[in-house]
Amino acid sequence: MFETEEREGGKESFSGSIEHIIYCNEENGYAICSFSTDGGDLVTIVGTLPYVAEGEHMTLTGSWVHNPKYGRQFKVERFEKQLPADVDSILRYLASGAIKGVGAKTAIKIVDEFGEDTFEVIEKHPEWLAQISGISKKKALEISGNFRAEAGMRSTMMFFREYFGPATTVKIYKKWGADAVEIAKENPYVLCDMIDGIGFEKADAMAAKLSIDPACESRIMSGMKYLLSHNAAKNGHICLPLDKLIEGTAQMLSVSIEKSESAYKSLVAAGRVRYSIFDGTTYVYTKEAYDAETFTANKLVVLDNLCPKIGYEDIERFISREEKRSGIEYAPLQRQAIKEALDSGVMILTGGPGTGKTTVVRALLGIFESMDMKVALAAPTGRAAKRMSEATSCEAKTIHRLLEMEYSDGENAIFMRDERNFLDESIIIIDEASMIDCFLASSLLKAVKPGSRIILIGDADQLPSVGAGNVLRDLISSGRFATVCLRTIFRQAEKSLIVTNSHAINDGICPNLTAKDNDFFFMPRESDREIAMTIADLCKNRLPRKYGADTVQKIQVITPSRRGEGGTDNLNLILKESLNPAEKGKKEYKHKERVFRVGDRVMQTKNNYELEWESAYRSGLGVFNGDIGIVKDIDKSEQYILIAFDDRNVIYDFSLLDDIDHAYAITVHKSQGSEYPIVIIPMYACPPMLMTRNLLYTAVTRAEKMVILVGKEEYVRKMVENNRQSMRYTGLAKRLLPFE
């Protein structure tokens, strides 16, 4: 292998020239090239290589990756371009079309005439080019101008490489061209508003290196917008009270309240933030959040008002016919739910486990089918959609798939279904609606054509969405739309302690912890270490011994926190070594501090829209936050791990393993939208903000057949008694109140 220079973090660096461009995307600069190293080796390089040209000499920094189709490639993360110096390379560079206006024949003439001085002539003496046959004075000036533009791009890439990767720099150059450097030097914070992927922290670090005044208004304005966005992403707030925003910005940036207030007024004047006044308090939004919330409120009202009405007698006839067909006599609240769904443009159905929500959905599907109405079933996550499909015997999709999500630059989701391309279905039924944040709700509603019905099903007592907003709870609290809450636990479900204890927890009553012959068990343990060891013993020995070896794959440990001996970090280490220990011949690979081994249960921890997957029937793109799979193979020579997610196989290059975590134990938040046959929950001392009733309720309701609590009874009681709800600043409910 040719020599490379070892860089920080295991990166490699080497120099050479572009031999052949195999593929190049002019929009984002992504390219695949044959690259001849200075040592004479020919390798394949991939990455964001904007305006690359054959013959160009470059120094590359990156790492080796394995492509399942094309084999070993060098993934470029940083690069430096140098203009070719020898005559042959200059000729290849010009002949490749790198300079607009210069083709292969013209390149030969220019290089024959000026040799190694070619670039100096083009840049500084364009009139000399007009001496060559076929090049007019006008064309000579155009060639020189295009060459200088290429030089401007090169200097832009060189300037920004200290701060951003090539892909981001391409966006900057496309926005401002050769002026990009001067614009960024004058006000780095403009990058936050104009360029996707550049946040306040990156721009602020750049500004500090450029010695920008830390009290300048552009910094305070940008910091204020960051505070709004950060609170949406981390704390679920769609907006913030003005006084908290002013004070928070001043404190975060170490500036005066007066400067913070001035920056706010400038943001409002420029239309970069919006505000609404509710009950005498001013709430401030980013423009995107304001637009999402106001659109959601307005579209729901329109759907509710425009829904075609069905006569009372027809509704009664439909319900009676469906009862006869299914052999089920619907309970009064179920009957009411069906009526409301048939009579309303927007209807909300809530209720805990065992209250018959699925029975209502099945009834509605039968009635809508008899009316020849097209129905779409969807849920926020793949697991929830799969469960919905199994319960209804009809296809259910993720909301993202329903909206036909495509991908931009591997970062931003673009929905092909929107207000210009409505969904075909006139009935939209969404399960696990408590997981829908305000931005996803807005995207979904854009795709719903006026006159359609939308039915939201969920459990408002579970944890709110990970993203900003509190959509389901806000819609219910507004009282604006038909809402039915199923409360009766049906006879069959009454036999399940999972069901009855879930409702007890939700009502603030300590669950029955003494049963020994049902589906809900409590195992008292004193110390956190005892709790962890007992969980490992349950997973490895006791449960498989009683229920069969395949039980191991049916168990999911769900814990409130990542930290502590009962948290995911520690439990994953213990369970991994207990359930999947190292063995001779079993493949494994150490990535930083974690060891991945064939047979490990793992989870994708962030959305990756570019990852390819294959199943027995089809292929596609995208693996999403919370997807759980099993490591099936590890190939160190080709540097990849094969992971099976349900029916999809995905090849992970080693460079992508930062986005994979072990999933023998997961947090309650990560478990939302999923169900597991057996759930084990450690009851140990967690941070107070996690010791809440709705967190315990959410964890328990993830179980299909068995729940086992392991730990101290006092922590169970503390969680049940703590009805603290995570407060979120939103305006959706207030926008829906009458006369607002």
Q: At 476, is the pLDDT very low, low, confident or very high (cuts 50, 70, 90)?
A: very high
Give the long-range contacts of residues 91-96, CB within 8 A, separation 24 or more.
91/55, 92/54, 92/55, 93/53, 93/54, 93/55, 93/56, 94/55, 94/118, 95/54, 95/55, 96/21, 96/53, 96/54, 96/55
609 has pLDDT over 80: no
* pLDDT, greater one: 6 or 425: 425
Rg of the chain's alpha carbons, rounded to an integer? 30
Among 262-276, 589-603, 624-638, the range scoring the smallest mean pLDDT is 624-638
Which of 51-55, 283-287, 543-547 is predicted least confidently?
51-55
Half-sphere exposure of residue 87, counting CA atoms within 13 Å on the CB side?
Answer: 9
**pLDDT exceeds 80 at position 724:** yes
pLDDT of 40 > 90? The answer is no
Banded model confidence at residue 6, pLDDT cuts 50, 70, 90: very low
Closest to 685 in 3D by CA, of 573, 572, 531: 531
Buried b (16+ CB within 10 A) or exposed e, 462-487: bbbbebbbbbbbbbbbbebbbbbbbe
Within 10 A of 1 (CB to CB), how many other CB atoms are there?
Answer: 7
pLDDT of 450 reads: 94
Residue (of 487, 217, 204) closest to 349 by Cα position: 487
pLDDT in tens, 315-335: 999 999 999 998 999 999 999
Note the pTM of the prediction, 2 decimals. 0.80
d(CA 207, CA 158): 17
Note the pLDDT of residue 149: 74
- Residues 515, 268: Cα–Cα separation, whole Å: 60
Angstrom distance (rounded) from CA 481 to CA 349: 11
Confidence of residue 4 (pLDDT cuts 50, 70, 90): low
- The fraction of the chain above a pLDDT of 70, given in percent, is 96
**pLDDT band at 50; cut points 50, 70, 90:** confident
pLDDT at 739 over 60: no
In tens, the pLDDT along 620-642 reads 777 888 889 999 999 887 788 99
pLDDT classification of 480: cutoffs 50, 70, 90: very high
Q: Give the contacts of 87 (CB within 8 A, at least 6 positions apart).
A: 111, 115, 116
pLDDT computed for residue 411 by the predictor: 54
| Average pLDDT value for residue range 654-674 | 90
Average pLDDT over residues 212-220: 93
CA dihedral 730, 732, 736, 737 (to 10 degrees): -10
Q: Collapse the DSSP code of 14 into the 3-class scheme (helix H, G, I; strand E, B; otherwise coil) and give the result.
A: strand
Q: How far is CA 286 from the centre of its chain?
A: 20
For 702-723, how does the pLDDT look when each residue is reduced to its tens digit (9 = 90+)?
A: 999 999 999 999 999 999 999 8
- Rounded-to-integer distance, Cα 9 and Cα 654, Å: 14
Q: Are 700 and 506 in contact (CB under 8 A)?
A: no
What is the full DSSP assignment across 263-311?
Answer: HHHHHHHTTSEEEEEETTEEEEEEHHHHHHHHHHHHHHHHHHHHSPP--
Average pLDDT over residues 452-456: 97
Predicted pLDDT of residue 150? 74
Question: Does position 1 have pLDDT exceeding 50, yes or no?
Answer: no
Q: Report the distance separating Cα 678 and Cα 382, nearest Å.
A: 19
Report the SS3 class of residue 31: strand
Q: What tokens were used for 596?
A: 């991945």
Continuous segment of H or E residues that includes residue 641? strand 640-645
Residue 574 has pLDDT above 90, yes or no: yes
Question: Is a pLDDT exceeding 70 seen at residue 5?
Answer: no
Q: What is the pLDDT of residue 102?
A: 84
pLDDT band at 368 (very low <50, low <70, confident <90, very high): very high
Alpha-carbon distance of 647 to 617, in angstroms, equals: 9
Tokens of 695: 């967190």
Average pLDDT over residues 367-381: 93
From the CB of residue 295, how many other CB atoms can be counted at a distance below 10 Å? 17
pLDDT for the residue 392: 93
Q: Token pair 């707030």 is at which residue?
A: 237
Q: If you average pLDDT over residues 232-260, what whole number do you get?
A: 94
pLDDT in tens, 67-116: 777 788 999 988 887 777 788 878 877 887 777 788 888 889 898 989 88
Span 397-410, mean pLDDT?
80
Find the mean pLDDT for residues 371-400.
91
Q: Give the model's confidence band at 8: pLDDT under 50 very low, under 70 low, under 90 confident, else very high.
A: very low
Longest dimension (CA), the chain: 99
